[in-house]
Structure 1
Amino acid sequence: MKTILITGGAGFIGSHLVDKLVAAGHTVRILDNLDPQVHGQAQKMPAYLNENAEFLKGDVLSKEALKKALQGVEIVYHLAAAVGVGQSMYEIYHYTRANSLGGAQLLDVIINERFPIEKIIVASSMSIYGEGKYLCQDCGVFYPRLRPLSQLEANQWEMKCPHCHHDASPLPTDEQKPLQPNSIYAITKRDHEEMFLTTGESYQIPAVAMRFFNVYGPRQALSNPYTGVCAIFASRILNNQSPVIFEDGHQTRDFIHVSDITAALITAMEKSTADYKAFNVGTGQGISIRDIALQLIERLGKGNELSPQIVGKFRAGDIRHCFADITHLKSNLGFEPATTFEAGMNDLIAWAAEQKPVDNFDEAITELKKRGLTY
């Protein structure tokens, strides 16, 4: 049994990880600043938080908070981060400080205070890829940057081959794809990977980076308009508002249930074959944003009242397709997701139906429009 620190352990993914580790008999400590955007202005400890874990309110930017939190710890999960692609493009300093400097402060304290950490697992993100991997039937595999503005203004949504300009087909994105982050948030997640893996190799502290795809499930912050698309859509629907979809709704993402994310995180801790590597953590299947909206509307009992609002507009930095190739995860860790999309969606719906979220979507979109980030 290990003594484990989870930064951001009061959040969506962190709290589920806490539950699984406590149930397995580990001693778990949480360090979390209870960010008001996630936990509300009262910054109260969430009711779902496991009472058998030790909770410390504090920020990863605080050296003193980290020194206290790291006492006696053997394993560190670094999940603490400011989350939100769009928001990161106008709160640049905040995201860089909270994420890049927060991760740097944690590593600095571990190294310079000589804490004997056995392993560090850091949360990365599929956003570091930018666009996914594509195949042109005539020209082969390519790794594109963002679609040109002229193409999007013409409502031509699918990715085109840069050589013959024909529509290309998306392929599962593997870890060898060049990293092309196109938001401040994504850049800070790349920072996390590179800082933690490099520091780990230099000091012989096994480090692992887990590239989460689109995580969904109970405890997502439904009132946070910068969280995952499932939570944003659910919040709209529960407030009798249609989910808003950019482009044509046929863009695809890889949706993975939080229980599979936490299981992968624990496997990464337990297996030395994970050490000093980065892994995609997804399902390997792409699902369209439109299909997600339709499923949520139907399962939340609003099928006769609401339908997706497909606006045909686009946002700066949006990608078309990205879903995971999980071959590396399977071959190195012997791990693959166990939760079907249907079962996972049932779990999310059962929880969401009992919530009373505030719909802040319009406010968030107004902010993006004001700053010229929607078209």
Structure 2
Amino acid sequence: MYVFGIFVIMIAIGALIGAVTNHFAIKMLFRPYKAHYIFGKRVPFTPGLIPKRRDELARQMGQMVVNHLLTTEGIKKRLASDGVKTEALQLGERLLAHFSKSPSTLEETLEKIGIANPAQQADQFVNKWTDEKLSALLSTYENEPLKELIPIEAQEKLKEKIPMVSGYILKRAVSYFESDEGKNRLGHMIDDFLKERGMLGSMVQMFLGNSSLIDRVQPEIIKFLKNGETARLLTDLLENEWDKLKEFTFKEADEKWNLKTLIMNVKEKLMIRFSLEPFFARSTGSYVSMIEQNIKERLPEIFDRLLEEAGRRLDDILKRLQLEDIVKEQVDNFPVERLEEMVLSISKREFKMITYLGGLLGGIIGAVQALFVILI
């Protein structure tokens, strides 16, 4: 009875020690979460193994993800698979169908993605861009003669139109002097002319009479304006002036007629006339519908190129993403309590078995010790 009691006690003590030791060993993987100090000295085995090695664990996990899990070869292989291409095509077709039916205007669609007042911004951009380009262009060619700036075809066309301009001017002049307004104006001009001649003018006006003088002068002026020689004279004058004008540099012409301001004003009028606002007022669906069929036919080619380009740039993309640092940062910020909870929830049964195994081994050791004690 005495020997049996020794066996039982030694086995129970050994099993208890083994089970408790393994239980605490498992707990010490995570606990304590923080280091404890007594009289300024850190208590041994604090914090637990995983909290203590968290930085190294995070670094190793980052390297494992980059070097063994999310490798460029694996991702490239996945991108090149038929499954990814099929899913990409289906996604593209769904997006096309969705946007082709969208009732939202292009402006509303752009505002949804954070671009405020796109029509106004587009007009401002085009206006600023044209201002800069025109200013640079005018500054570059300000010392060039106009004949070098105006295309030859345009110069020839303008010269061909000079006789037509002359005829139009003379025709309008005849119509004016034949009208009552023109006749009255001619009368005032004759009066002013005679007044400037003093006594002689008064004598002429007294003998001829104002009305008689106008009636005589008006037909002569109209006759002069309708004369073919007058048309040729005016045409020659305009052609001479046009030849002189072509020799002016742009800077000289600008100083005389303020051409830069004129060009800028014309540009402003055109910008108002051709504002981009109507373009943004149309629905997004109307624009997508215009190119939907063409894009749908080219989707396989487009996605092949996109996936191929993504594969070529994958190394650079992964380096820029710095996945290793991201994983390390996430592990560093992950609560140890949550990590312990996850591990225990997954391996609770296995940890219990380890505890029981410790108890079994402890019990065996206790039995062996009891046997030695009895034999001795």
Q: TM-score, normalised by structure 1?
A: 0.13
Structure whose residues are more often helix by fraction? 2
Q: Which has the higher strand share?
A: 1
